[in-house]
Amino acid sequence: ITLKHHVDQGRAHESDMELGTTKEKLELKGENDVIVRVLYLSCDPYLRGRIRSTQDSYIPPFTPGKPMGGYGLGKVLQSSDPNFKEGDVVSGVMDWADYSHAFRSTKVDPEAVPLSYYLGALGMTGFTAYVGFFKICEPKKGETIYVSAASGAVGQMVGQFARLFGCHVVGSAGSQQKVDLLTSKFGYHEAFNYKEEPDLDAALKRYCPGGIDMYFENVGGKMLDAVLLNMKDHGRIAVCGMVSQYNKAEQDPIYNLSYVIKRRLKLEGFIQTDHLDLQPEFFKSVIGWFKEGKLNYVEDIADGLEKAPGALIGMLDGKNVGKQSVKVSDV
Ligand code: NDP
């Protein structure tokens, strides 16, 4: 799948990407290289930033005409890296293609949990939830946490981690189906559909009457502005993402930033790759919780590489129910 051209503002469309074939032969490039048969690909909101012509984030734009890429799972076909051999299944960064080089690869155990979990609950998004909640939020038992985009890949894990930890957990999402999942599967005590709330400040006062100790920020814009009015003194805001802003050339203004001072808040942005030292404890804890039956995981898997552009755009539009991935091939 290649990007046809950059899209700097407004929605990107499926038609901005295309499926093609190449006669270029994949060959190992020197030492420590791996070529895989791609099994699964991950659709993540940060990819919207890579469809832009300008680099406004930590990762460069895609080059039109070249394969798009991102997190994926693959089966090793050839390896010049002593850490991997033919037949291993790895997670890593790979092209949106049937076959690809794999970068930053890690071997995964396909027997421990269903393979696709390594793209979500046990992959980048689950790890993001783990870092954001346990490290950036600095949680204390009994505190109230509010999570936006709460049913998505990151949000569903944050809710469950917070519930297991002993917090009061409140979340919002964009449809009744998602709101039902929040309370039935993802550990949320209270949940609401933000699209049906004309006054977000009033909604937060209703669902978090005692105020918010921790906000796990996934959407930004108007939601952040309303949350600031409802934070308790010494509250923490883990700024994970701002998906409501990713299509915009100019960011929405935030009017209530002075509440960071009035309420003595800690507002901290984070990128999961800066916290890789936490990965061993993340895998140990999360695999353990799955084995004990303490975690649920909902994913939305599109079938076939050709479905990847539609799956990506659909996720940015909120059509995904759970973690959006694409299955490219059987193991
Ligand atoms: P999700 O699975 O939550 O999918 C994106 C969701 O965003 C949609 O389903 C939709 O849910 C919601 N959304 C889309 N547009 C809007 C809007 N205008 N206003 C409010 N909500 C909207 O994605 P992820 O869980 O993968 O990512 C969640 C957040 O985490 C993103 O902001 C992402 O960029 C960030 N992230 C940050 C990382 C880091 O290291 N800092 C790493 C990974 C992710 P709904 O129907 O509920 O509106």
Tell how far the Cα of 119 is from the centroid of ligand 1, in angstroms: 15
CATH number, domain with residue 265: 3.40.50.720
pLDDT tens digit sequence for 269-328: 999 999 999 999 999 999 999 999 999 999 999 999 999 999 999 999 999 999 999 999
Total number of domains constituting the chain: 2
Domain that holds residue 78: 2-119+298-327
Q: Model's pTM, two decimal places? A: 0.97
- The CA-atom distances, in angstroms, between 256 and each of 38, 241, 270, 294 are 46, 18, 21, 38
What is the C-alpha end-to-end distance of the chain, expressed in Å?
Answer: 21
Question: What mean pLDDT comes out for the span 59-79?
Answer: 96
| 79 alpha carbon – ligand 1 mean position (Å) | 35
pLDDT at 24 over 90: no
For ligand 1, atom 43, name the residue with the nearest CA: 125
The span from the CA of 216 to the CA of 238, in Å, is 5
Take residue 101 and report the two structure tokens written for it: 């080089």
250 and 312 both lie in a single domain? no
Same domain, residue pair 105 and 138: no
Cβ < 6 Å from ligand 1: which residues?
44-46, 125, 128, 149, 151-155, 173-175, 178, 218-219, 240-244, 270-272, 315, 318, 320, 323-324
Q: Which atom, in ligand 1's list, is nearest to the CA of 45?
A: 34
Residues 131 and 214 in one domain: yes
Nearest residue by C-alpha to atom 46 in ligand 1: 174
User: Could you tell me if 246 and 305 lie in one domain?
Assistant: no
Q: Please give the pLDDT value at position 331.
A: 78
CATH number at residue 16: 3.90.180.10
Establish whether this prediction's ipTM goes over 0.90.
Answer: yes
Phi and psi torsions of 101, nearest 5°? -70, 150
Q: Give residue 182's pLDDT.
A: 98
